[in-house]
Amino acid sequence: MSRPPTLRQRVHRVIFDSDTPAGRAFDVWLLVAILLSCALVMLDSVGEARERAGGALRWAEWGITLLFSVEYALRVWCSPNRMRYVTSFYGVVDLLAILPTYLSALVPGTEAMALVRVLRVVRVFRVLNMVHYVREARLLLVALLASRHRIIVFMLAVLAIVTVFGAIMYVVEPHDAGFTSIPRSIYWAIVTLTTVGYGDIAPVTTLGQAIASVIMILGYAIIAIPTGIVTVEMGARCATRGSGPAHAARKSSTWRARASAINAARGWGRSAERYRKCD
């Protein structure tokens, strides 16, 4: 006879699992609290809303933070491996979700960083049974990690390009045009190469405008490079996943089902032929 679950196990089932009505309800209400808390933080940053209901917004935010604090303490308490949870992605996000409000008592203005708790909405994938989205996100992450060396080389090459163009523009353009230093000229090169173009600095000489045109055209070509790197890696990962054991098992089961259907059709044909002969 199995022993009944302990209080710690029951709390763990409700908080960490969503395969029970209580666990699912807990996760749904947690998502509602997260979204409500983010809305309160954003409203508190609006001057008119802060003047009208600043006190109520702060009290509500502190109340939700206290609830999150109790939830975090319960998660640590009922975790089988507490250190593993505390150092995990969700554990770090859960801790960062409550720290800004407490820090705001010492450093005013840091309460806006409480918006980091919006990362906890990632739990919606588990609550709404959207596991396939998590798998696809993991595939993208694996592709990015596998491409990191090529991406780093690409970023270093871009850094070298903007440094060279920044130095050239510092020499070519007058300081009155805004190119007062090499770092500021590099900033202009980055803005131009990424096709952002704030317009706060612009070349005024013919040679500078010609160089700017080259940088703009080069920017469009450079944007496509990391996309191609990650796309190739994702294609390779998809091909590997499609040729794995699971895919082979699915393919084998499909062929078995087709063979069974063909054999059944052949057997029915032979039975019908014998019936006609007897008739």
Amino acid (one-letter) located at 69: S
pLDDT band at 129 (very low <50, low <70, confident <90, very high): low
Higher-confidence residue of 158 and 132: namely: 158
Please state the rounded mean pLDDT for residues 220-244. 74
pLDDT band at 266 (very low <50, low <70, confident <90, very high): low
pLDDT of the residue at 233: 77
Task: Note whether 68 and 33 are within 8 A (CB).
Answer: yes
pLDDT of the residue at 274: 47
Higher-confidence residue of 57 and 130: namely: 57
- What is the C-alpha to C-alpha distance for residues 117 and 97, in angstroms, rounded to an integer? 4
Please state the rounded mean pLDDT for residues 217-233. 80
- What is the C-alpha to C-alpha distance for residues 36 and 38, in angstroms, rounded to an integer? 5
* Delimiting residues of CATH 1.20.120.350 domain(s) in the chain: 7-129
Mean pLDDT of the chain: 79
pLDDT of the residue at 132: 65
Higher-confidence residue of 118 and 254: namely: 118
Higher-confidence residue of 168 and 254: namely: 168
What does the pLDDT look like over 73-96, one tens digit per residue?
Answer: 999 998 888 899 899 888 888 888
- State yes or no: pLDDT of 276 exceeds 60: no
- State yes or no: pLDDT of 110 exceeds 70: yes
pLDDT of the residue at 277: 46
What does the pLDDT look like over 93-107, one tens digit per residue?
Answer: 888 888 888 888 888
Q: Which of 36-40, 201-205, 225-229, 246-250 has the lowest mean pLDDT?
A: 246-250
CA distances from 30 to 10, 65, 132, 247 (A): 18, 12, 22, 37
- State yes or no: pLDDT of 40 exceeds 80: yes
Amino acid (one-letter) located at 122: V
pTM over 0.95: no
pLDDT band at 243 (very low <50, low <70, confident <90, very high): low
* Delimiting residues of CATH 1.10.287.70 domain(s) in the chain: 144-245
Q: How many CB atoms lie within 10 A of CB 64?
A: 22
- State yes or no: pLDDT of 278 exceeds 70: no
Give the rounded distance of the alpha carbon of 180 from its chain centre. 39
pLDDT of the residue at 263: 55
Task: Note whether 98 and 138 are within 8 A (CB).
Answer: no
Identify the CATH class of 7-129: mainly alpha
- State yes or no: pLDDT of 165 exceeds 90: yes
pLDDT band at 272 (very low <50, low <70, confident <90, very high): very low
Amino acid (one-letter) located at 193: L
Task: Characterize 30-50 residue by residue with b for buried, 16 or more Cβ atoms within 10 angstroms of its Cβ, and e for exposed.
Answer: bbebbeebbebbebbeeeeee
pLDDT band at 162 (very low <50, low <70, confident <90, very high): very high
- State yes or no: pLDDT of 70 exceeds 90: yes
Fold exhibited by the domain 144-245: Helix Hairpins (1.10.287)
Please state the rounded mean pLDDT for residues 224-229. 78
Angle, CA 141 vertex, CA 140 and CA 147 arms, to 5°? 90
Task: Tell me the CA end-to-end span of the chain in Å, nearest whole number.
Answer: 64
Amino acid (one-letter) located at 2: S
